[in-house]
Amino acid sequence: MIGRLRGVIIEKQPPELVVDVQGVGYELSAPMSTFFNLPAVNDEVTLFTHMVVREDAQLLYGFATERERLLFRSLLKVNGVGAKLALTILSGSDVDTFARSVQDGDTASLTRLPGVGKKTAERLIVEMRDRLKEVSSAMGLQDIVVDSVSAPAGGAKNEAVEALMALGYKPAEADKMLRSFDIDGMSTEQIIRQALQRH
């Protein structure tokens, strides 16, 4: 199993990225909580990883902190939650916010995440309460905050729509989310962050 990668980012297209490790390019999917803190292309990054081996694919997921990876792995143990939904949950909510929602039994905040209906939210609250103690007590690494480089609004908007669709939003929903604020001069990551915060 691959537990951690350190290499150079050679491609970034939320929620996918490629990290070059001594000449080998690893394709990873990462939640937006990790994407927001990634350094620029051609810069070095260290990611905690989780590998999922299926009959038809081998998938690698990357996380900025060990706490994110722990939460991701805990979510996979919940009945009805797969890797895609776990990634979406981490994209729409950071570890602490998710933990508060579960501890408070706040189904309303959980159902605002794409793919999480009322029954799934209730299941998350019941099954995750005890597991969150392990995640909460884990030592997280300090996030590396890097100023994003602004991109032309058209290209950034299209990339943001594609990223939101990859997270489970329908095209019309993603487009509507981006029309609710001014995206001029914003990078793809900044647009996605605003969209998820306002949703």
Residues contacting 73, CB < 8 A, separation 6+: 50
Ramachandran region of residue 102, left (φ > 0), alpha (ψ -120 to 50) or beta? Answer: alpha
Q: Does domain 66-137 have CATH number 1.10.1240.10?
A: no
Q: How confident is the model at residue 149, as a pLDDT?
A: 35
Token pair, residue 181, equals 């604020």
Would you identify the CATH topology of the domain 4-63? OB fold (Dihydrolipoamide Acetyltransferase, E2P) (2.40.50)
Count Cβ atoms below 10 Å from residue 62 Cβ, excluding itself.
28
Orientation of helix 153-166 relative to helix 171-179, angle to 10°? 130
Average pLDDT estimate for 12-23:
93
Predicted confidence (pLDDT) per residue in 49-77, tens digit: 999 888 888 899 999 998 899 999 999 99
Average pLDDT estimate for 107-123:
89
pTM: 0.69
Domain locations in the chain? Answer: 4-63, 66-137, 153-198
Lowest mean pLDDT among 25-39, 116-130, 142-156: 142-156
Q: Which homologous superfamily is 153-198 in?
A: Ubiquitin-associated (UBA) domain (1.10.8.10)
